[in-house]
Amino acid sequence: MDFWGTVLAILIMVVVGTLCGLFFVKGLKKPMLGHLVGGIIIGIIGAVLGGFFLDKLNFIFKWLLENPLHVNFFAAFAGALLFVWVFSRISHQE
């Protein structure tokens, strides 16, 4: 993948992480440290980490990478949701 392809992949992961953070905080109304901003930041970190680490398992998720952008959407989504969920459990504010 060339430079612009990598930049586009990271931007897509940031968007996926932002949407997961927004959904978790506003849609599910789960408490989180930092509320909306914290959820978005943790979602972005989770999406980027999940996208890069699960992308290394491309022999398992090969059918997910066969798109024109070569971005593993499932890995980014799963990483973001997992990271936001774990962080909300750690920072439970009740």
> Would you tell me how many other CB atoms lie within 10 Å of the CB of residue 13?
29
Structure confidence by residue, pLDDT tens digits, 18-35: 998 888 888 888 777 788
Distance separating alpha carbons of residues 19 and 73, to the nearest angstrom: 12
> What percent of the chain is helix, strand and coil (3-state, nearest 5)?
70, 0, 30
Structure confidence by residue, pLDDT tens digits, 20-77: 888 888 888 877 778 888 888 888 888 888 877 776 666 665 656 566 666 677 778 8
Sign, CA dihedral 74-42-84-15, equals negative
Per-residue tokens: 49: 């980490």
Q: What is the pTM of this model?
A: 0.78
